[in-house]
Every structure is written in structure tokens, then in C-alpha cells.
Chain A
Amino acid sequence: MATIIALLFMLLLWRVVSLQVLDTDRGYEFLQGQGEARFVRTAVIPAYRGVISDRRGETLAVSTPVISLTANPQVLASSGQTARLARALKMKPAVLERRLERYQGRQFMYLKRHMAPADARAVLQLQFPGVRGEQEYQRYYPAGEIAAHLVGFTNVDDRGIEGLELAYDDWLRGSPGRKQVIKDLYGEVVRDIGELEPARSGKDLSLSIDLRLQYLAHRELQRAIALTGAESGSVVTIDIRTGEVLAMVNHPVYNPNNRKNLKPGQTRNRALVDNFEPGSTMKPLAVLAALESGLFTPQTLIDTSPGRIKVGRKVLLDPVNYGEIDLSKVVAKSSQVGIVKMTLQLDEQAVWQMFKQFGLGQSPGTGFPGEAAGLLPYRAKWLPIERVTLAYGYGLTATPLQLALAYSVLADRGLRHPASLLRLDADEVLTEQVVDPRLARQVLQMLEGATADTGTARRARVAGFRVAGKTGTAHKANHGGYADDRYLALFAGIAPVSNPRLVTVVLINEPQRNRYHGGEVAAPVFSRITAGALRLLNIAPDRRADAGAA
């Protein structure tokens, strides 16, 4: 008997040793693994998303800590405290009941996401069974609607879905870390036991815009829209020396911090995404093509009488008969007939070639989602009407940014810089000489003539500065033709002329109330924005200040 007991005892001891010490098939490691599988869980540590700021370091987008309340529906439903919880969450009890029913088979549901930490803590303090708080980050946009189109926004899971938040999502996004936690029978975290991998924060992003200029442009655009009853509009300001975008605003706007009432189209960054026919604002480039051909100088006389010309089957008109005027006057008066006569003397491809050199029909390459490249159709053979139409800015499309870039080439001695939405260091600026600096200067002077007392752009003048620019009033295309009563009012301008720094393009889409000319609607907006921008950037007034004093 004693022997049997001793034997059984030995057997037991052997079993214990084989389970605890020896490395058998279902031994120590297996058992520990099974045990841990029942209570150790890996939890995610949220990563901090990089901050987006303007060129001077003002925050445009920042992740703020919030708490999401989660629940174990099975535990919560059986606790009989749902009515009290609904009260604490300021929800209707019936709504909460319905949601609990929908998740009844699950172990996890969100009660309310992204609560202000203080509010969430107030609920957590009441200690409802199965209710827990989860730390998360929510994006907040301090500049609100002012920079909304450019910055874009993220979705509820902190992924960029619009604008630069989307374009630079990989750069901004951190990599979430992992930690091990011990959970009890009800799935509640009892204790953290260690960090497997720390969360790594995303990298910060510095944009090229200056929030002060951005606000200024926004305010003036809103004012102009209110005055003209226009449908939409855009303003782009770029630094001609670097190609950096200093301001880019659109109407309609939206509030990125409250997107409940968002309408489709509101989030569109029209200045980068929408194509339009640039109309008369292209004339200076056509004139540049004429100067480059060597057949014309700014003083070349063109006879525009009797103020109309027939090309093919179409008759093109000037508002009045300007008579014999020189090329500078053609630009200042925006004479259709003058441009037509000039273009017909040039090589077939000359105007198209010049437009192409100025970056039209090519993507500006900012990397913005949905960025448009415009359309500059190539033809092997050009009919006269096609050539002249192109020269006065129809039959091609461009975005406001492309127009601003083209004007910056004129302003910066024929140098072309790619556009940038990010702040650049001096050594990051790329430069390409696309036209003779002397000719670019001549066109700039002609454009200054357009802001003289008799020019079309006199309302663009800025007190104390010399400015140059061109108005445009484009008929909008609709089904199979051009509408008579729908216009785009445009202005593209450069300041100060003595030492150009800024190019600003203003586009007002479908102004109402019978005021639709670029010179009337868009030029004053340019003037107000440029006056403010030159002051904010501390650019010295021109010496010939009297030239601009209105």
C-alpha cells in the first residue's frame, strides 16, 4: 500500500516537473502562452500628428488631446444604468437604448467620440460599469476658414482627407506605438505592463503662406463677393522671387472645425483646381511673343481703325475706334483689333510657344490633391481665327495659380520659378530663364501703362507705389457657345514696378448687378490687397510715389 502511494506521489512529482521545468510539448511555455492569451492584450498608443504652421510659425493645424468614451455593451446593458448614463452624456435615453441593442452581441462600442477631456472625465467619474475612456487626438484648426482650402482636414481617425493634410499625410502622420496591458474578465484594462514600441510623433510642416496676408486677401475677397453678389472667387498672391504662394483664398469658404453643414463644392480650392479661360489677361504674353519675333517694338504703330476686324467669318470689335496706336497703347487699352493685327503677322506657333514657356497647360507641380494643369491645345496647323483667339486668351484654360505664375515670369526679369505651397529656403529655389529680361521689362512697363489715368486698370492703383497689371473680362462658356450674361472678372497685377516683389491674381466669378468688368470688379480688390501686403511685408514705397498717388 505504502509503495503504491509512494509511486503515485513520484508520478505526481514527475508531472509537476515536466510541466514546470522541462521543455516538453505541452509544458511550461505552452501553458504560459495560453495564460497570457487570456489576459494580456496589446493596446495601441496614439501618435501625435505633426503641426502645420504658416511661414512665420503661426499654427494652422494642431492635434489636441480628446477622450473618446467606449463601452462594453454586454456589461452596460445588464447594469440597468443606461438611463443615468444617457443623462450624463446628454443623449436621449431611447437613442442610447437603440444603440446598445444594435451592438448587443459585441464587446466594444463607441459611446461618444472626441469629447473635451473635462467633459469626458466628468462622465468617467460616475463609474458606469463597462464604460471607459480612450485617449485620442483630434485636429483643430486655429485659423478656421481663413486657410481652410489650403490646409484641408483629417477624418475622425486622424488621417488627412483633404488639402495639404492629405497631400502630406505620410509626413505628418506619426507611427502609433504598442503597449501590453492586462485585462480582467470584463475586458477592462487593469494594469499596463510595458511598452513594446513607443509612439513616434509625425513631422511638422511649414507652409509658404503668411497668415496676415491670407487674412487680408480673405477679408477683401469676402467684401468683393458681398458687393458684387458673385457666385465664387479666388485670390492668389505669390512671391515672384521664389515662387512661394503667400496667400491663396477662395469663396465659398467653410469652417474646418465644424463640418456638419458642409456642402459639396465648399471645400474646393478653386485657385488650384478650377480651370477658366483667362481672356484678356493673356494679351501681354502674346505681345511678348511679338516683341521676341523682332517684328515689333513697344513703339510700333498699329492701325486699329475702324475699330473692327473680320477674321474668317467672325467680326472682332473694340468698344471704340482707337485709331492708330502703338503696341503699348494696345495693351493699356486692351484693344482686340490691335492684338489681332499683331498676331496675324507672327509665326503660326509663336503665341502657343510663348504660352507654353510660361507654364500654361502644364501642372504647376505643387502636389496639391486635384491640382489642375489647364489646357493649352497644340495644333500642327492653325487657322487664323484659332491663332487670334488664343492670343486674346480664349481656347485655352488655366488656373488662377498658373496665371499668377505666368505674371511672375514677366515681373522677375523672365525668370520662371516653380510654385511652392511650402516655405522654401534660399537654396531650394529653382530658376529657369524663359525669356529675354529686356523684353520682359518692356512688357512690364506696358502693363504699368494700363494703370495710368487712361488705362483699363486704373482702379488697381496703390497710393505710394507703382503697380502694373492687366484686367480681363471673360465670357463664360456654356452649352455650345459663350453666354452673354455670365462673366469672369479678372485682374493680374504686379507690385512694386521699380523692384517687383508680389504678383496677385483676383478672379471674381459671375458678378451680378451689371458690374462685371475686370477693371471695375477685380482691380479694386487687387489694389486693397496689394496696399496691405506691401505694408505688412515692409516694402519701401517707390521713389516716384506721385506716379501712384490716386
Chain B
Amino acid sequence: MTSQPQQARARFHWLGINALLTLAVVLSAVAVVGTSHKCRQSYARLQKLQSAQWDMQENWSRLLLQESALATHYRVEQAAEQRLQMRIPTAADIRLLLR
């Protein structure tokens, strides 16, 4: 047999737990909304960075193309010999310093 005040306390107890759980559910629901929002934001950022990476790669390969066209060994050789009048030193031009 339980007394009247005891019953009241038990009821209050349950009420407290319920209120706590409800609060937890609400909080978690808000957190879920927040997290999925953050997730979406991060993914958007990732996509932006990926497209930036793509653009940079694009740019890089264009520059590489330019470089390989302008700096071919053949072209450099022609420029050195004809425009800059350079030549490969002969054996007679080389002084060997021996230590």
C-alpha cells in the first residue's frame, strides 16, 4: 500500500522524465536539421572546390601545352644557334681543372 504523498511524488517523477525525454527529442530533431544543413553546406563547398580544382587543372594543362610547344628541344636549339649565335664548345675550348 502506498500513501498519498508517495503516489504524488511518483507521478511527478514520471512527468519529469517525460519532459526531459521530450526535450531531448526536440533538441535532437533540431540538431538533425542543423547537421543536415551543415552537411549540405559542406557538400556545396566540396563541389565548389572540386570545380575550382577542375578549372585549375584546365588552366595548368593549357599552360603545359603552351610550354611544351614553346620549349621543345628543337625550338630551343634553333634559337640558341641562330638568334643567339651560341655553339657547343669544342674539346679545345674546354679547360679541365683537376683537383
In the bound complex, how far is the Cα of B65 from the Cα of A144, in angstroms? 11
Contacts of B94 in A (CB 8 A): 464, 541
A176 at the interface (CB under 8 A from B): no
Choose, from A16-24, A135-143, A330-338, the stretch at the interface: A135-143
Q: Is A26 an interface residue (CB 8 A)?
A: no
State which size class the interface on B falls in: 20 to 34
Pair A64/B96 contact, Cβ less than 8 Å? no
The yes or no answer to A545 lying at the interface (CB within 8 A) is yes
Q: Is B80 part of the binding interface, using a Cβ–Cβ cutoff of 8 Å?
A: no
Q: Does the CB pair B90–A215 fall under 8 Å?
A: no
Nearest CB of chain A from residue B98's CB, rounded to whole Å: 7
Residue B91, interface by CB 8 Å? yes
Nearest-CB distance from B67 to chain A (Å)? 8
Q: Is the CB of B98 within 8 A of A543?
A: yes
Question: What is the total number of residues of chain A having a CB less than 8 Å from a CB of chain B?
Answer: 29
Smallest CB-CB separation from A48: which chain B residue? B57
Question: Which residue in B43, B65, B88 is a CB contact (below 8 Å) of A140?
Answer: B65
A65/B57 in contact, CB under 8 A: yes
CB-based contact A195/B43 at 8 Å: yes
- Which of B46, B64, B65 interacts with A195 by CB under 8 Å? B46
Residue from the list B47, B54, B61, B88 in contact with A135, Cβ < 8 A? B54
Within 8 A of A (CB), among B16-75: 39, 43, 46-47, 54, 57-58, 61, 64-65, 67-68, 72-74
Is A194 in the interface zone, CB < 8 Å from B?
yes
Whether A65 and B73, one on each chain, are in contact in the complex, defined by CB atoms closer than 8 angstroms, is: no
**B82-99 contact mask (Cβ, 8 Å, vs A): 1 or 0:** 000000101100101010
Residues of B contacting A65 in the complex (Cβ-Cβ under 8 angstroms)? 54, 57-58, 61
- Tell me which residues from 531 to 550 in chain A have a Cβ below 8 Å from any Cβ of chain B: 532, 535, 540-541, 543, 545, 548-549
Contact of A64 among B46, B57, B74, B88 (CB under 8 A): B57
CA distance A32 to B98 in the complex (A): 83
- A463 at interface by CB-CB < 8 Å: yes
- Per the 8 Å Cβ criterion, residues 141-168 of A in contact with B are 142-144, 146
How far, in whole Å, are A140 and B65 apart by their CA atoms in the complex?
A: 9
**Nearest Cβ on chain A to B97's Cβ, whole angstroms:** 9
What residues of chain B lie closer than 8 Å to A367, measured between beta carbons?
A: none
Given A195-B43, A212-B73, A543-B98, also A464-B91 (CB < 8 A): yes
Instruction: Flag A310-333 by CB within 8 Å of B: 1 or 0 each.
Output: 000000000000000000000000
Q: How far is the CA of A213 from the CA of B47 in the complex (A)?
A: 43
Smallest CB gap from A141: residue in B: B68
CB distance from A182 to the nearest CB of B (A): 13
A–B complex contacts, Cβ < 8 Å, 6 sampled: A62-B64, A64-B61, A65-B58, A140-B65, A535-B88, A541-B91
Interface of A with B (CB < 8 Å)? 59, 62, 64-65, 117, 135, 140, 142-144, 146, 192-195, 211-212, 215, 219, 463-464, 532, 535, 540-541, 543, 545, 548-549
Pairs of residues from A and B, 4 with the lowest C-beta to C-beta distance, nearest first: A64-B61, A464-B91, A142-B68, A463-B91
Q: Which residues of B line the A interface, CB within 8 A?
A: 39, 43, 46-47, 54, 57-58, 61, 64-65, 67-68, 72-74, 88, 90-91, 94, 96, 98
Taking A117-B58, A192-B43, A211-B73 as known contacts, 6 extra A-B pairs with beta carbons closer than 8 A to each other, sorted by chain A number, are A59-B64, A64-B57, A64-B64, A146-B73, A194-B39, A543-B98
